[in-house]
Structure 1
């Protein structure tokens, strides 16, 4: 589950991680008042207005049809109000959103931290995530922080450092010091960086994050280390332990079909292909998508109905898949283990009959417990459903459906 920047920063503060302070706003008037509060409290000459969407590249992104950036600096309350007015309600297009973009419903008005003092300011990059190949968390960091970190990783990978943390021991003090040293820090900034990295890792573990990224990690002119931006992704499987975090979910930022699928406990991910698939089991779903590609089609989705497929879940799956106008055929691939194939077949028939006319070919491949009985039910149903027992049969039927379309 992704969180907005303003939500992530509030959570980091609970772990004593210094952040760029700001106020989340829903209207231009609120943004104007937020500037006045920030100016009074922190003495900032400027303020930064940041569009709050679940995507990176906001600083370079633009509101559709305008030259307004997703992140902009204002020097007065009037400036901040105008910028917020230009951003709120607009569709922000960034390198991560694609041409569709995302509608901005909220902005963060944040304090200015880029003022120059006796010491130069610096931007760094730092993130924490799981390295599955090593079975350990890894802290990735670089002296080249800012908007172009992807280019840094691509063009100069030697500037990306990694520090692996063993799960049984946690982050060791020498590792935090090593990170601060590799970032070229010294004196008070070095000490502050060690504390920052330690507390950030504690937040990553305590909040059950799947990914925690600070870009930029900022050294101010008075040697403070703060998080200017933050991307936080919470492990969905941990949300039962964190009802407060689950309440932060913003479904307006998610694909509507994926949200609907969640209501029926369906594991659904939308893709860009032309063959919808409905499967029980994640491994079988992956194999099914391979079969679709080998047969000449492209999977339109990943949909795992789980081990207890019935008429209701099958119908919900049908309706979700058919909302995609690109779908030219649907392949249902069920292995009868926990659920009998004849029960699934009955569910398919019931769901088919309860819906309006389905205009795309339906191919059902059943294998396992009572597969023959299930195939017989489908064949004798009188519905336009093609059945198969072998994967090769299903692949041939998919190929014919795609070719005919």
Structure 2
């Protein structure tokens, strides 16, 4: 889960990583940090805000007020903008630095580039080093990566990297990234903060849990995970195909398959079959989340059951559909497992016209047809 910049920078400040002075605005601008110029930044948990118009440099109070006014209440890359970060503009040469978990090496991957900024993806100067999961090891790796930088900068940037590694390890994060890191004779300042949280560790991280609780509209997926005990992640707020699926691997496979066909899946969903017994409540909530998006054109149910009796699931799914008045699009169900034939009979009686099949290819063809007809 990606934190918004303001929360990421709060963690930075807690760990001694310099950040510009700033305030979070949710209504009118009352005070301004410093004497200007200022940066106004939409607070949504998504990358690429600058290119999408979500970051504006302002030279006067009037410009700040205009930028805040235009962003609040708008949508940026599918996300509602409920808050803006207004901060003093930083200055200096732009660099890129990140520390992330590298599961394959049981360690950390440190990346540094002398070409920070919005075009970092196309920069050819980025270099990476693998090191043990220890802040000191990250600092040592950076000594090598910083060899071409001015000597006066090296210790400062290495200290930033060490603090980033400390933050990542202590808070059990997946990624800590600064782009750009402004470097000058005066020191280093984090111009942005990209912090990716491991939701499986949140119960051990009260500071991050408090951030999630404080912004339920921003961190909806995390709130759902904590409350429901399963993963529902909105991949594309403008997605067209809602997914009710089981198994993380199967869910990701289905998303890859849909994307390869040019489709736009709305969400990842790993609702365990053991959590879909006895009551349709969880299925009803998942359908509510899915149908809240006006871009929705179809719902694809993909259940690969083990010990679960699919006839019971079919009854729950039929009840959930009946109890979901917001569901106005066709549902296609691919069901594989015990009592699949009985499940098909139950859903056929409850939802005439619904395709229920064990063949994924057949289900995908029907989804293609539904989406194509609705386009």
Question: What interval of TM-score do these two structures reach, taking the shorter chain for normalisation?
Answer: 0.7 to 0.9
Separation in 1, partners of 2:119, 2:373 = 46
Residues 128/299 of structure 1: CA separation in 2 closer, same or farther (3 Å cut): same
Corresponding residue to 2:71 among 91, 94, 100? 91
Match of 2:151 in 1: 186
**Distance of aligned partners of 1:88 and 1:344 in 2 relative to their CA distance in 1, 3 Å threshold:** same
Contact 1:89 1:105 in 2 (8 A): no
> Looking at CA atoms only, which structure, 1 or 2, has the larger radius of gyration?
1
Cross-structure match for 2:331: 362
Aligned residue in 1 for 2:57: 71
Aligned to 1:103: 81
Of 169, 173, 176, the match for 1:212: 176
Q: CA deviation at 1:315?
A: 2.2
The runs of at least 4 aligned residues of structure 1 exceeding 6 Å deviation read: 293-296
**Is contact 1:309-1:344 (8 Å) kept?**
yes
Q: Aligned pair 1:128/2:95, yes or no?
A: no
Cα distance, 1:204 vs structure 2: 2.0
1:368 shift after superposition: 1.5
Equivalent residue in structure 2 for 1:333, among 302, 306, 320: 302
Q: 1:273 to 1:56 in 2, by over 3 A?
A: closer
Aligned-partner Cα distance in 2 for 1:180–1:293: 39
Structure 2 residue ranges without an equivalent (≥5): none
Structure 1 gaps of 5+ residues are 36-44, 64-68, 74-78, 115-120
Question: Which residues in structure 2 correspond to 1:6-405 (within 5 Å)?
Answer: 6-26=6-26, 30-32=30-32, 34-35=33-34, 46-54=36-44, 55-56=46-47, 62=53, 70-73=56-59, 79=60, 81-91=61-71, 97-98=76-77, 103=81, 105-110=83-88, 114=91, 121-132=92-103, 134-151=105-122, 153=123, 157=124, 159-167=125-133, 171=137, 173-182=139-148, 184-187=149-152, 189-222=153-186, 224-249=187-212, 250-253=215-218, 258=221, 262=225, 264=228, 265-271=230-236, 274-289=240-255, 299-307=265-273, 308-310=275-277, 311-356=280-325, 359-381=328-350, 383-395=352-364, 397-398=366-367, 401=370
CA contact (8 A) 1:49 1:71 kept: yes
Deviations 1:47-101 (A, max 9, x none): 52332423455566647xxxxx62324xxxxx3x32331122322899x944x67
**1:171 partner SS:** helix
Q: How many Å separate the matches in 2 of 1:356 and 1:389?
A: 27
Q: How far apart in 2 are the matches of 1:293 and 1:149?
A: 25
Aligned pairs, number: 365
TM-score w.r.t. the length of structure 2 is 0.80
Q: CA separation in 1, counterparts of 2:256 and 2:6?
A: 40
